Structures are given as C-alpha cells and as structure tokens.
Amino acid sequence: LQAGSRLETDLPDGRSSSRLQLAATWLFVLPVFTEGVLPGVVKLEVAGLALLAFAVLVQGPIPERAVERIFAVFAVLTLIVIAYTAFGSWPAFTGTARSYDGHAALFVITYTAVAVFGALFFDEEIFAWVMWRAATVALWIGVTTCAFSRLTGHLLLVNPDHGLRMVGTLTEPSAWAPVLTVALLLALRRRSWLYAALALAGQALADSPTCLLVMAVTVPLWCALASTWRHRMLLLAGLAVIIPAAAVFVLHADPQNYLVSGNPAE
C-alpha cells in the first residue's frame, strides 16, 4: 500500500477516510486472501486489530454504543463456552482437555475481534473497496500460477488432486467460493467485464463444486434482490420455487451415486 494522501484519494468517490479504518479493514480481510501462504496471519490480524483499537482508545472517546456491542458479543461467547463446560464435556479421544480449552479461548477471541472491527472500524464503502482490491490481486495470482503450472508442469500454488486446480494464496480450491463470487458481483457492479471474465476463468481453474454452487445460488439472488433489472421479480419468483425444490432434492437424493459419477455436473 502507498502511504498518506495517495491512499485517501484512491478511495471510492475520492473522499478521504480514516487511516485507522483503512488499515483495520486490510487486517480484517487479510486471512481470507493469504492464509495459504501465511499460516500465522490470523495472529497478525488479531494483534493488529488490538493495536488499532488501543490507538482509538488513546484518541478517545470511544462511542458508548460501540463499547456496549463489543462487550455484548464477548459476554455471549464467553457464556456459551461456560455453559458448554458446565453442562457437557469436551469430546473424548480426539484431543487433550488443554487443547480444547485453548481453542475455546481462541473461539472467543476470534469473534470478539470481529465485533471490535465492526463496532470501531467498519465502513461499507471502504470495506467494498478493500475487498475489491484484495480479491482482484488474489485472483490474478491464482489464475497466473495455475496457468503457469498447467503449461509447464511445475507446481506453483496449485492443488494436484484431480488435476491441477487453482489454489493461489488461499488454502484450497473450495476456499475460492466466496472470493470468486464477490469478485464477480463487484465486477458486475463496476461494469468491469475484464474482471468478470477473470472470475469465471478462476471458477473453471478451481474446478470446485463448492465454488460453482455458491456462485450459482448467490449471483441470481443478488440480481433478484439488489439489481435494477426490470424482470427481477420474475427471477425472484423462479428462485422461490427452485431453491426449496433443490433443498428437497438434496435431502432425499442418494449422494453416493453422484460422488462416484464421472460426470462433472453430477
């Protein structure tokens, strides 16, 4: 990132924004896009958000409603853990009690960090801008490395199972499901046909049924609920029939026949 005024003038609509909000947003989305190459990135995110929250506290005063929201989330999460340990027990033979205690603490810390970000730093336009920047950079890296691997045979940020599938800076091919969908929706919103095509290319290179399913459901829903297309009510009515029917089909279908099928659609 370029520091200073260039960052501020490059934000949506050219308006300036708090550098703290911008830095916090980058920290918040960083694990989604880099956990495949930076295993300790979640610790970096939490530590960074804690430092930024401390900076806000020093600048003060923190809005009372923000404090209430953060405390409420922390309290609910803590009570969930306490209730589970009071009325139940950690699963046996799958880990030590100490390990479960540590992960329970991480559960509380992780979602409290989300509450801190949401209450102190979240801004819709900044969040959309950062998601767009991060998604497009990650997508370029993923498509480029996957194409390179397929053309040369040298594996670079790909999954070799069932063909060379795109991984990039993410953890696995299916982890692209939200990223590809968000990239496509933001590309459509921005009328950026290059990135719309790149998102579809990423869909093909990831070769993941999860990615396909998420995009197939989310994009029509977005068109029906948020677009200005004049026939969107017709699309919404169709989805109101198709989605429940699909749910019923999934509940009653025999998955084994589809899992062993050689048909990619199945």
Cα separations in angstroms, 241 against 128, 245, 247: 31, 6, 10
- Report percent pLDDT > 90 for the chain: 58
Residues 161-191: pLDDT tens digits?
878 999 999 999 999 999 999 999 999 989 9
67 or 238: which leads in pLDDT = 67
Query: Which pair of tokens denotes residue 182?
Result: 């968000």
Give residue 220's pLDDT.
84
Give residue 7's pLDDT.
45
34 or 237: which leads in pLDDT = 34
Compute the average pLDDT of residues 230-235. Answer: 76
Residue 16 has pLDDT above 50, yes or no: no
Residues 19-69: pLDDT tens digits?
899 999 999 999 999 999 998 898 899 999 999 999 888 887 888 999 999
pTM of the complete model? 0.80
Contacts of 70 (CB under 8 A, 6+ apart): 112, 115, 116, 119, 120
- Bond into 31 cis (ω within 30): no
Residue 5 has pLDDT above 50, yes or no: no
Compute the average pLDDT of residues 111-128. Answer: 94
Cβ–Cβ < 8 Å for 104, 81: yes
Residues 195-206: pLDDT tens digits?
999 999 999 999
Compute the average pLDDT of residues 88-92. Answer: 84
Give residue 196's pLDDT.
95
Compute the average pLDDT of residues 192-220. Answer: 92
**Segment among 38-47, 87-96, 103-112 with least mean pLDDT:** 87-96
Per residue, the 3-state secondary structure of the chain, as one string, reads: CCCCHHHHHCCHHHCCCCHHHHHHHHHHHHHHHHCCCCCCHHHHHHHHHHHHHHHHHHHCCCCHHHHHHHHHHHHHHHHHHHHHHHHCCCCCCCCCHHHHHHHHHHHHHHHHHHHHHHHHCCCHHHHHHHHHHHHHHHHHHHHHHHHHHHHHCCCCCEECCCCCEECCCCCCHHHHHHHHHHHHHHHHHHCCHHHHHHHHHHHHHHCCHHHHHHHHHHHHHHHHHHCCCCCHHHHHHHHHHHHHHHHHHHHHCCHHHHHCCCCCCC
